[in-house]
Structure formats: C-alpha cells, structure tokens
Amino acid sequence: MYGELIALLTAFLWSGTSIAFTEASRRIGSLQLNIIRMMMASVILFMIIIFAGFSFNINNKQLYFLTASGFAGLVFGDTFLFKSFQIIGARLGMLLMALTPAFSAILAYLFLDENLSSVAIAGIVITISGIVVVILDRSGNSKSVFQFNKSGLLYGVLGALGQASGLILAKFAFQMGDVNGFVAAFIRLVAAVIIIFPIVVLLKRFKNPFTIFKDDLTALKATVAGTILGPVLGITSSLVAITYAKIGIASTLMSTTPIIMLPIVRYYYKETLSWRAIAGAIVAVIGIAILLLV
C-alpha cells in the first residue's frame, strides 16, 4: 500500500510539472529545457543530500544501472516526451504516456519476473481505459491550440518506452541493496547531464541559460517550478514507489496525471469539462481503488 500511495503522490507532482514544462518548452525549446532542468535539479538534490546527511554508499553495479536508467528515462524518454508536449501539448502527450504502464509491465515480466494477478491486471486496464477516455475527449476540443499529428504520436510513444525502460533499470539497482531515493535520483540526473551535455555543446545546440532567462522571467519561473515538482520531488518519489510496489501497478498509478489535471485545465486553460471526461475520471478512480486494494 505504501508504494501505491507514493505512486499517486508522484502523479500529483507530475501534473504540476506538465503544466510548467509545457509553458517552458514552448518558450525555450524541449532540448534546452531538458538540459537546464536536469542541471538545476542536480544542484538542488545535492544540497538536500548534503544537508540531510544521506549516504552515497552504493556498489558499482547499482551505479551502472542507475546511470543506464538516467539515460533511458531522462535523456531518451524525457527528451521525446517534451518534444511531444511542444507539438501536441501536455494533455495529448500524456495520452501516449498512458502506454508506459503496459510497457513497464511487459518489461518487468520479462526481466524482473514480476507477475501480476488477474485482479491487478483488471485494475490496470480499467484505470488506463478511464485515462484514455478523458484525454481523447479533451483532444477533441476544437479550441485547443495543440493538434494531434504523426510526429507527436511517434515522439510520445518513444517517450513512454524510455520512461518504462528507466523504471526497470532503476529497480535493478534497488534490488541489489538499499539506496536512498534522493541519492538515486541525483545519480540518475548527473549521469544524464554527463551524457547529454557534451553532445549538445558539440552540436552547438546549447544556449547560455542566463541569456535566455534574462529576457524571459516567465520561462525561468516555469522551469524552476517544474524542476522542483518533477526532477527533484517527482523522480525521487517515483523511485521510492517502484521500490515498494510492482512496476506495472506503480507506473499505472503514476500515469493518472491526466485525471488529476482535469481541474487544472479547467482553471488554468479555462476549458469546459464534458460529462464524458467526468465519466472517464470516475472509471479511472475505480481502477485506482482496485489497485490500492490488491
């Protein structure tokens, strides 16, 4: 139950992250945002770890899997996720991220021998069905500034696959011994920065953040807010969730962000919620209840 509740908390954190990063991505670009938020998060996490006195004591295999997890989830997965946000918006991008639980469950079965009961599978299917109903309904809103297209579809699927792979690799590290969630998140982020930063510099794709934010305080505020909610608190809580819950269940609960975002889009984007969207949310909540009771 503990892992499942933490997974739901992660979904709440990611709902705020999605709104903030969608705004930031449109202003400074998905690649630039990905690098800056990882660098910011690394600094914040390091300060938390030092202040709290958490131990960095991990073995080489754990370091390897956390590094690989950082590449799969943060470099590969998130870059494509943000690109989909930039093209089709956070709401439609999260529709494709609903594939993450399916990818996660399959990979966990193949590589971690995690078997789900028929009740758990039913709960996952019901929850995802509710999520899909909600987002498909919202995607039909003609007033939306975003439109679904093939590029957004491809980027969203690749993002979901990267996210699922990152969770699997991280769980390998946790199975090898105790690792503090903040420390694990820090290692993943630093590894991702070390991998992606030299590449974008060589390709001359990186711009000085001070120059960017000096003339765009809105982008700065959105990036800082999204970084604290997502890479710092969200990633840490997601790692704690998969430690105490099966990946298929945890990733399903974490994917309920679109349901949580309904009141946010109603208030923030001034969009009207249809009965279909509300019905989808109810279906998803029923699925969540089943997963919490498994």
Written as six digits, the tokens of 37 are 């938020």
Among the residue ranges 106-115, 174-183, 258-267, the one predicted with the least confidence is 258-267
Contact of 155 with 51, CB cutoff 8 Å: no
**pLDDT surpasses 90 at 172:** yes
Tokens of 23: 């705004």
DSSP 8-state assignment for residue 232 = I
Q: How far is Cα 151 from Cα 83, in angstroms, rounded to an integer? A: 9
Q: How confident is the model at residue 228 (pLDDT cuts 50, 70, 90)?
A: very high
For the chain, count helices (H), then strands (E). Answer: 14, 0
Tell me the per-residue pLDDT of 17-67, one tens digit each, with 9 for 90 and over: 878 887 888 888 877 888 899 999 999 999 999 999 998 889 999 999 999
The answer to whether residues 292 and 4 touch, using CB atoms and an 8 Å cutoff, is yes
CB 287 within 8 A of CB 127: yes
Model pTM? 0.84
The pLDDT tens digits of the residues spanning 82-96 come to: 788 778 776 677 677
CB 65 within 8 A of CB 167: no
- Residue 142's pLDDT band, with cuts at 50, 70 and 90, is very low
